[in-house]
Chain A
Amino acid sequence: MLLHDFTQGDIGAFERIFRQFQGQVYGWIVRIVRNPAAAEDLTLEVFWRIYRARARFDPQRSFTAWARRIATNAAMDYLKSAPREVLLDESAPALKSPSTKSGIDLALVQQALHALPAKFRVVAILALVEETPYAEIAEATGLPMNTVKSRVFRAVRMLRKKLTRLGIQP
């Protein structure tokens, strides 16, 4: 009933949906963009897109899945347009201790990751860093599972190549 009212443009229904799902949407986006302030802005952008597309939403389907897909697209747009340096999470331990015990400069590893094209960076961050299951990534990106696996594989290959060029052998 709530979702049905929302699709009819009921602003009260939209407010309840927003309050119920804003945390989930933010939590998903911040894992991808790794910047809390940007994630808040993107959460608003996602709900703006959701509000605009309300008439196309089928209330019988999962709102969470729909919202997550829109959130992933918005995060991907952000990664494509944002300057590389703002994507670094300032709270990451890497910036406090810039090298591993074996002497690998972690800033170079970050550089290699951020040099990946957005569509590969998203799956690399989700699969390799956040350990998100492939099925969940597939649902969020709207890609078949095999495409997700293939993108992770290609991201790994590109990362190894870039790291090797930077003198790092993982």
Chain B
Amino acid sequence: MNTPDHDLRALLKNAVAPIADTELKRDLWPHMLNKLNQRPMRVSRLDWVLVALSLTGCLLFPRIILALLFHL
């Protein structure tokens, strides 16, 4: 294909050859399974905010602890 970019394309192909071998050499499923099992359970930001608010509330108003215990 003789486009205006023909020379540039040829130069690029000389410098960065097209990938000839795109075949996957091994089954990655065992690695995928490890990845699925290793991913730690993520705690959402909202949960952390609620924990922080509860702790702050307990520090500022210790009577809240009794109320919290009552509701547990």
A contacts, CB < 8 Å to B? 11, 15, 18-19, 22-23, 26-27, 30-31, 34, 36, 40, 43-44, 47-48, 51, 89, 91-94, 100, 104, 106-107, 109-110, 113, 124-125, 128-131, 156, 159-160, 163, 168, 170
Contact = CB atoms under 8 A, between A and B. Distances in A.
A113 B19 contact: no
Contacts of A128: 5, 8-9, 12-13
A100 to B, nearest CB: 6
B8 to A, nearest CB: 4
A112 to B, nearest CB: 9
Interface in B1-57: 5, 7-9, 11-19, 22-25, 27-29, 31-33, 35-36, 39
A106 B7 CA distance: 14
Contacts of B32: 18, 44, 47-48
A44 B29 CA distance: 9
A129 B12 contact: yes
Given A48-B35, A129-B18, 16 more contacts: A15-B33, A19-B29, A23-B23, A26-B28, A30-B22, A31-B18, A40-B28, A48-B32, A48-B39, A89-B17, A91-B17, A92-B16, A113-B15, A128-B8, A131-B18, A160-B8
A92 B8 contact: no
A30 B18 CA distance: 10
